[in-house]
Amino acid sequence: MSGSVFSQQDFDFQGIKNVEFTKDNFRADKEGLKRANENIKEGDKIYELGEFNYKYALSYYLDANSFNPNNDELNYKIGKCYLHTNNKIKSILYLEKAVTINPKVRPDLRYLLARGYQLNAEFDKALFQFNSYKSDLNAKINKEEFLEVSKRIDECNSGIELIKTPIRVFIDNMGKTVNSRYPEYSPFITADESVLFFTARKENTTGGEKDQDDNGFYEDIYVCFNINGKWTEPNNIGNPINTESHDATAGLSSDGQKLFVFDGRKNGGDILLSQLKGDSWTSPEKIDKNLYTPHRESSACLSPDENTLYFVSNRPDLSLGGRDIYYSVKDDKGHWSKPINIGPTINTAYEEESIFIHPDGKTLFFSSQGHNSMGGYDIFKSVNINGEWSKPENIGFPVNTPDDDLFFVLSASGKRGYFASFRPDGFGDKDLYTITFLGPEKQMIINTEDNLIASVAAPVIDKVIAKTVEVQATSTTILKGQITDDFAKKPIEAEIELVDNFKGEVIASFKSNSKTGNFLVSLPSGKNYGIAVKSEGYLFHSENFDIPSIVGYQEIRKDIALKNVSVGSKIVLRNIFFDFGKFTLRNESTLELERLYKLLLEAATLRIEISGHTDNKGSAELNRKLSEERAKAVVDYLIQKGIDSSRLTYFGYGKDDPIETNETEQGRQFNRRTEFKILSK
């Protein structure tokens, strides 16, 4: 089974004979013939420059075709040119006509017609033409061509299967506020979908010049913001990121403070890194010498903990075929390891491109010409399970089409994707679109006219009853907020340490924005996390988050006010842990205790009180004694580390000093705590 992506009128070309552009055929219109031949001559000059220029030859060929629509050679060239435009589907009309007039006008005519059918998802027709073309090839003499046609046949068979079970989605143009008549593509979003970066080729490009190779404006990077569900008008991100050459988005950290920029001026293309400092971006710089070669490095992404960098490269020494996906790991000193090929489960003998690691830390999206692609690049998903990547899964039709589908990113919630596409409802070229993945509660009929992507040029008439697809919310928690001075209320740049409490390891470090104090951290589920916030001149602040693996997507807002190191200041030590009813420090407490120890070393005259607190369950005397023993356990730890006992006191307040209500479990949990207070400096 196969069905067209676009409506394609059937044309009857039977009986049409070839008409050459000669005086004998057009005695009554010599001027028209002269203009037509001049147009063909101009078109041929451009055509002979190679396929990158085919689209510029079209206007000349179409003018000539309007004078004489029945020339085999001209119909062939127009069809071939259309296959190198965003309107690839238009090739079918001219290639069908060329086949009818003269099936042997060029040796590759049937192959090109098959490609047109494939791009229109008319897979049965495409298979007929591909097989017909393949039967005329000598597998030994035309080995590469034979393998290419065989690959196309496999793609068509994959397409037939994928179209049988379309996924339930809405695909919507992001609108004229974001899109323009110029190309917009390569979108990247922050984990909470508050900021969007993308590449465009607009008239306000830096320098205002056009690329002489393709007559399009140079690429620049743009940014817009999500305000109450509506996107602001895009702003050119400006210097120092955008230059007078091509500058394109290549990746983005989850918090939007690290932007990867593709610079194509050297080595076939390098990935550079720019960082947001306050409200200004740093000049893009190389990341680490281990990552670069004389070859092309393109798309990049960071794991949520920012300790693993994934990127695409065509370096030949480690490649499994063409462009592959690699990864590099950051060590304790901030240096990146030599790249490692991600392996044959993901990489194929064909090309891979445009990678994106989801904020859940384990789901990788990428585009590939291999696997069970239905044509060109398709978008695939693989999940890392216990250190092994699962077999890549084609994310399905109509998100994937028979044309190239690239640069897909998914929100942290897993419910919305972003990508670029050429469609009839666009504003003139590639536009940015959102994909809304629908849950099973809405049984509906999808008219695929609403679901076209990548190279659409005509409306759809087919209706498909879409198979119900369970949309799984990702198991991810987004923690975001603002860090301020508790007294002055001004934003603070602070370091945020993310701790795996079970392992007792710092697994990531981030910084809040120096101007806004804002931060965003992605917390994959299934762990107990400690968060420690520290800034010079302030007491550190700690929080604890237990995120079970069964928890779906959630956003937590936590604004943190840091307190100055002053007499009377006190903080809760959220990551000090005891077993129920006991006062022995658990191993998970070590990093928190070490932070307190370091504070006392740095402030050598500081005297503090450690206090223990309980909820109101149980007798007052038992609670007082338990809380005192717990406070004493902390003091004993610090004395064993070398802190003079004269600087430390402890007290058990039991249930007498609650900070939340004891009427709820959450309130009681907050009341069960360990604090320290500065007695003197």
Instruction: Kindly list the structural domains of the chain, giving each domain's residue range(s) and its CATH number in brackets, ordered by start.
Output: 30-163 (1.25.40.10), 169-465 (2.120.10.30), 475-563 (2.60.40.10), 565-681 (3.30.1330.60)
Note the pLDDT tens digit of each residue in 56-97.
Answer: 999 999 999 999 999 999 999 999 999 998 888 899 999 999
What is the per-residue DSSP string for 207-240?
T--B-TTTSPBPPEEEEEEEETTEEPPPEE--TT
Report residue 487 CA to chain centroid gap.
39
Residue 628: pLDDT band with limits 50, 70, 90 = very high
What is the per-residue DSSP string for 132-188?
HHHHTS-TTTTHHHHHHHHHHHHHHHHHHHHHHS---EEEEE--TTT--SS-EEEEE
- Rounded CA gap, 573 and 540, in Å? 9
% of the chain at pLDDT higher than 70 = 93
Q: State mean pLDDT over 253-258.
A: 94
Q: What is the pTM of this model?
A: 0.86
Note the pLDDT tens digit of each residue in 357-411.
Answer: 999 999 999 999 999 999 999 999 999 998 999 999 999 999 999 988 989 999 9
Single-letter residue type at 487? F
Taking 90 as the threshold, does the pLDDT of residue 113 lie above it?
yes
pLDDT at position 439 is 56
pLDDT at position 302 is 94
Q: Give the three-class secondary structure for 145.
A: helix
pLDDT at position 427 is 86
Closest CA to 461 of 4, 57, 2: 4
Q: State mean pLDDT over 593-608.
A: 93
- Rounded CA gap, 353 and 314, in Å? 10
pLDDT at position 2 is 53
Taking 60 as the threshold, does the pLDDT of residue 469 lie above it?
no
Note the pLDDT tens digit of each residue in 325-353.
Answer: 999 999 988 899 999 999 999 999 999 99
Place of tokens 């006509």: 97
What is the sign of the dihedral through the CA atoms of 642, 645, 647 and 648? positive
Bridge partners for 515 per DSSP = none
Bridge partners for 225 per DSSP = 195
Alpha helices (H) along 603-676? 620-640, 665-671
Note the pLDDT tens digit of each residue in 608-626.
Answer: 999 999 999 999 999 999 9
> Distances in Å between the alpha carbon of 439 and those of 188, 189, 382, 471, 473?
24, 22, 21, 5, 10
pLDDT at position 143 is 85
Taking 90 as the threshold, does the pLDDT of residue 140 lie above it?
no
pLDDT at position 446 is 37
Note the pLDDT tens digit of each residue in 650-678.
Answer: 999 999 999 999 999 889 988 999 999 99
CA angle, 60 then 183 then 195, to 5°: 180
Encoded tokens for 398: 């109509």
pLDDT at position 13 is 62
- Asked whether 364 and 389 are in contact (CB, 8 A), the reply is yes
Report residue 274 CA to chain centroid gap.
17
CA angle, 173 then 176 then 180, to 5°: 100
Edge-to-edge strand order for the sheet containing 280-281?
247-252, 258-263, 270-277, 280-281
| DSSP 8-state class, residue 91 | H
Taking 60 as the threshold, does the pLDDT of residue 472 lie above it?
no
pLDDT at position 552 is 82
- Asked whether 592 and 542 are in contact (CB, 8 A), the reply is yes
Per the prediction, the chain carries an average pLDDT of 89
Place of tokens 């450690």: 610
- Rounded CA gap, 150 and 144, in Å? 10
- Rounded CA gap, 673 and 75, in Å? 80
